[in-house]
């Protein structure tokens, strides 16, 4: 009789030598000779494989031929202490069922190293590689850590809408949602499309942020967070932008900018610690992979070892400085003076590009940096207006290798100031009346921020391209699978 299935992860730490167990999984490699075969089997529960030892003469030849890379098999076997170094247990096969073959002539994944670019085209199968299984196990752990962190703190998980009727935040960067017939849309007298006839009776889009609705929740429940998909039709084909990404947006009543910074730093460190405590074998694998990849680079250009980097961020306070201080540093730094930046910083008011953010983090401070008090012209209408009349209580958190990982602010709670700013910036106050009600009735200091989940994943896994930390990336000209 077949034993109950045991996952590879549990089997590898089992000491029940001599007992009979069943494992199911996918073949990574098979090697050996006419007498004995070694099959490395992985079931996704861990980065590590269980080695199956097969006494060739006692098995049907046709059956063994079907055990190729990618095939799914079920193995009944005896647990034995491993003779080989590195692993503690292996399985002596008693019987094997081939559940699903993988014709080696056709199976796209060979038992060799494939490039990440190749695997991106095979995203439906890349879960089966060590690299991507590690990345997506860590992704799960990070998502779990998000909920654990906020739940422990008494925040409420709030589901904000994905379809929105307001385009206050994302002018020009939004995906339209419509059920109108694109070949024959209803028209107004002036020839423009009549959205009154559309599904929602108005123009609707996919959300670029849940913040505005999040604020409504915070001004009643106290502390909330969102964690959901976000859509941006920005045509920026970078290694840090997706058209569909996941964002975590906490919003807190009675928090000022300092409280906001403290929470964000604690949150990022919590996630990093969670990864170190729960994902070490995957992190170690990714670290080795990274070091392998950087072998060709000069010592100066190599990044800090992954686990060391995570521990370093955990152990150090983030640097906090104002935009104005940052501009002074940037204006006088070598790459700026030698015009090495693509965008040269010539004065106060310039928007910071990722090259500037990374200079501050990687060269100047060599630590995560929280930048606050940005010029109001380069930030959103809802940010708290500072007394200087020039800056707003924004905070961006910049991470090594990434640039901006968090964008947040204290929110303007004063009705008159908010409306004035909306008018100055051309944000329609009539459409946003519901938002303004929070400032009309029981307004109070409040703050929040947005963390791009995939940017955090880039940092924790050390992967270089954001398309490699989300299962099925959506980016310009790419919505495969
Ligand atoms: P960036 O300047 O890098 O485009 P942003 O200023 O547009 O970022 P926010 O609108 O503040 O970003 O969004 C909050 C967070 O969401 C960012 O700090 C980042 O981590 C993440 N983020 C923003 N746009 C994207 C994107 N297109 N793909 C993935 N993550 C994103
Ligand atoms: Mn952007």
Q: Dump pLDDT digits (tens) for 131-156.
A: 999 999 999 999 999 999 999 999 99
Confidence of residue 302 (pLDDT cuts 50, 70, 90): confident
Q: Report CA(209)–ligand 1 centroid distance (Å).
A: 10
Q: How far apart are CA 437 and CA 416, in angstroms?
A: 12
Which ligand is closest in space to the CA of residue 351? 1
Q: Residue 152: helix, strand or coil by DSSP?
A: helix
Domain-located, residue 1: no
Q: Are residues 34 and 137 in the same domain?
A: no
Q: Percentage of the chain with pLDDT > 90? A: 91
102 and 70 Cβ atoms separated by less than 8 Å: yes
> Residue for token digits 């964002």?
247
Q: Are residues 234 and 312 in the same domain?
A: yes
DSSP 8-state class, residue 318: P
Q: Are residues 390 and 459 in the same domain?
A: yes
Domain-located, residue 453: yes
Last residue of a domain, one of 48, 83, 100: 100
Angle, helices 211-221/433-440, rounded to nearest 10 degrees: 30
397 and 319 Cβ atoms separated by less than 8 Å: no
Q: How far apart are CA 451 and CA 248, in angstroms?
A: 5
Count of structural domains within the chain: 2
Q: Report CA(468)–ligand 2 centroid distance (Å).
A: 19
Average pLDDT over every residue of 445-468: 98
Distance of CA 452 to the CA centre of its chain: 6
Q: How far apart are CA 424 and CA 67, in angstroms?
A: 69
Q: Hey, which of 243, 407, 411 would you mutate to test ligand 1's pocket, going by the most ligand atoms within 8 Å of its Cβ?
A: 407
Average pLDDT over every residue of 156-175: 86
Q: Are residues 391 and 275 in the same domain?
A: yes
How many other CB atoms are found less than 10 A from the CB of residue 332?
10
Q: Are residues 223 and 77 in the same domain?
A: no
Average pLDDT over every residue of 243-269: 98
Q: Report CA(452)–ligand 1 centroid distance (Å).
A: 6
Q: Are residues 229 and 280 in the same domain?
A: yes
Which ligand is closest in space to the CA of residue 448? 1
Domain-located, residue 120: no
pLDDT attached to residue 465? 97
Give residue 64's domain range.
8-100
Q: Report CA(240)–ligand 2 centroid distance (Å).
A: 10
The closest residue, in CA terms, to atom 5 on ligand 1 is: 407
Last residue of a domain, one of 82, 100, 118: 100
Q: Are residues 309 and 414 in the same domain?
A: yes
The encoded tokens of residue 269 equal: 């460190």
Q: In what order do the strands lie in the sheet with 204-206?
A: 163-164, 204-206, 176-177
The encoded tokens of residue 246 equal: 């996941």
CATH code of residue 66: 2.40.50.140
The closest residue, in CA terms, to atom 6 on ligand 1 is: 407
Q: Are residues 222 and 73 in the same domain?
A: no
End-to-end alpha carbon distance in the chain: 40
Domain-located, residue 192: no
Domain-located, residue 362: no
Q: Are residues 164 and 225 in the same domain?
A: yes
Q: Report CA(348)–ligand 2 centroid distance (Å).
A: 21
Q: Are residues 256 and 387 in the same domain?
A: yes
Q: Does the Cβ of 242 fall within 6 Å of ligand 1?
A: yes
Q: What are phi and psi of 87, to 5 degrees?
A: -115, 150
Q: How far apart are CA 35 and CA 105, in angstroms?
A: 25
Q: How far apart are CA 302 and CA 411, in angstroms?
A: 40
Q: Does the Cβ of 404 fall within 6 Å of ligand 1?
A: yes
Domain-located, residue 75: yes
CATH code of residue 292: 3.30.930.10
Q: Are residues 154 and 298 in the same domain?
A: yes
In tens, the pLDDT along 69-128 reads: 999 999 999 999 987 766 689 999 999 999 999 999 999 998 888 999 999 999 999 999
Q: Are residues 23 and 140 in the same domain?
A: no
463 and 457 Cβ atoms separated by less than 8 Å: yes
């Amino acid at each position: 009789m077949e034993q109950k299935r045991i996952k590879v992860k549990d089997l590898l730490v089992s000491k029940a030598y001599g007992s009979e167990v069943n494992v199911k999984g996918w073949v990574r490699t098979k090697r050996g000779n006419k007498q004995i075969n070694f099959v490395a089997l992985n079931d996704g529960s861990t980065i590590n494989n269980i080695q199956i030892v097969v006494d060739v003469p006692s098995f049907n030849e046709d059956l063994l031929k079907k055990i190729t890379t990618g095939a799914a098999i079920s193995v009944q076997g005896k647990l034995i202490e491993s003779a080989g170094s590195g692993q503690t247990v292996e399985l002596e096969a008693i019987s094997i069922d081939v559940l699903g073959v993988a014709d080696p002539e056709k199976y796209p994944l060979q038992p060799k190293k494939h490039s990440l670019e190749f695997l991106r085209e095979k995203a439906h199968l890349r879960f089966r590689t060590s690299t991507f299984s590690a990345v997506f196990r860590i992704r799960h752990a990070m998502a779990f850590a998000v909920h654990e962190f906020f739940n422990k703190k008494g925040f409420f998980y709030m589901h904000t809408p994905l379809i929105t009727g307001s385009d206050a935040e994302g002018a020009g960067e939004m995906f339209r949602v419509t059920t109108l017939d694109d070949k024959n849309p209803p028209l107004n007298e002036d020839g423009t499309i009549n959205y009154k006839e559309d599904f929602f009776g108005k123009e609707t889009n996919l959300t670029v942020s849940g913040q505005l609705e999040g604020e409504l929740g915070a001004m009643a429940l106290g502390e909330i967070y969102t964690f959901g998909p976000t859509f941006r039709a920005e045509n920026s084909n970078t290694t840090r932008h997706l058209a569909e990404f996941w964002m975590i947006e906490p919003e807190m009543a009675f928090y000022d900018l300092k409280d906001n910074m403290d929470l964000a730093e604690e949150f990022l460190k919590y996630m990093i610690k969670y990864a170190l405590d729960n994902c070490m074998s995957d992190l170690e694998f990714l670290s080795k992979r990274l070091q392998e990849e950087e072998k060709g680079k000069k010592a100066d250009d190599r990044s800090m070892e992954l686990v060391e980097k995570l521990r370093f961020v955990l152990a150090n306070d983030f640097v906090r400085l104002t935009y104005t201080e940052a501009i002074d540093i940037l204006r006088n730094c070598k790459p700026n003076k030698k015009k090495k930046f693509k965008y040269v910083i010539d004065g106060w008011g310039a928007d910071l590009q990722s090259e500037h953010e990374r200079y501050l983090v990687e060269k100047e401070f060599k630590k995560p940096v929280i930048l606050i008090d940005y010029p109001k012209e380069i930030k959103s209408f809802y940010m708290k207006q500072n007394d200087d009349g020039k800056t707003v209580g924004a905070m961006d958190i910049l991470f090594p290798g990434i640039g901006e990982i968090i964008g947040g602010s204290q929110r303007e709670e004063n009705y008159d100031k908010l409306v004035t700013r909306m008018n100055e910036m051309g944000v329609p106050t009539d459409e946003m009346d519901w938002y303004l009600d929070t400032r009309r009735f029981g307004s109070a200091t409040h703050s929040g921020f947005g963390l791009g989940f995939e940017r955090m994943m880039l940092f924790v896994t050390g992967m270089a391209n954001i398309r490699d930390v989300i299962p099925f990336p959506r980016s310009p000209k790419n919505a495969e699978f």
